[in-house]
Amino acid sequence: MSETMELRVVSEAIDEVLDESGRKRTCDITTATRLRADLDFDSLDLAVLTVKLEAKTGVDVFARGIVSTVGELMCRIDER
């Protein structure tokens, strides 16, 4: 998967998590975006995010511990 593709997949999953909990994204998503500090994700949001990303990429991104940025998430998808 190219980096642009990965970023799109991660962004889509993030938007789905926000949408399903009745929220709107307030910032652009880049590799530096922090899941907790910038997107205000709590543990349940992260739990849903990993379910969505696993469905899209086959990778449980937090299986080896939780990461904090979108870029680190993309690395986890790369490492599969």
Partner 1 sequence: MNDKPFFVDRSSGIQKTYAEFVQDVNAVQFVGSVYSAEDQYVLLTSLVAALCCDQDIALHQGASKGSKNDRAMQSLKPNLKQSALWDTISTSKSKVGMSTSGTTGRAKFIQHRMETLTRTIRCSLHHQGDVWGLTYDLASFAGLQVVLQALCNSNTIVRLASLESSAMHDEIRTLGITHISATPTWLRLFCSDGISHASVSHITTGGEIADRALIDQAHARFPNATFRNIYASTESGSVLLSDGDLFRVPLNLTDKVRVENGILAIHRSLLAESIRGHDASEFYVTGDCVEVLSKEPLTIRFAARRNDWINVGGNKVNPYEIERLLVSMVGIADARVFGRTNSVTGNIVCCEIVRSAGAAIKHADIRIALEKLVASYMIPRVIEFVDAIDKTPTGKKSRSE
Residues that bind partner 1 (CB under 8 A): 20-22, 36-37, 43-44, 46-48, 50-51, 60-68
Residue 45 has a CB neighbour count (10 Å cut-off) of: 18
**Shortest Cβ distance from residue 2 to partner 1 (Å)?**
25
**How far is Cα 52 from Cα 40, in angstroms, rounded to an integer?**
18
Nearer of residues 4 and 74 to partner 1, judged by Cβ: 74
**Shortest Cβ distance from residue 75 to partner 1 (Å)?**
14
3-state secondary structure of 44: helix
At 43, list the tokens: 């543990």
**Shortest Cβ distance from residue 1 to partner 1 (Å)?**
21
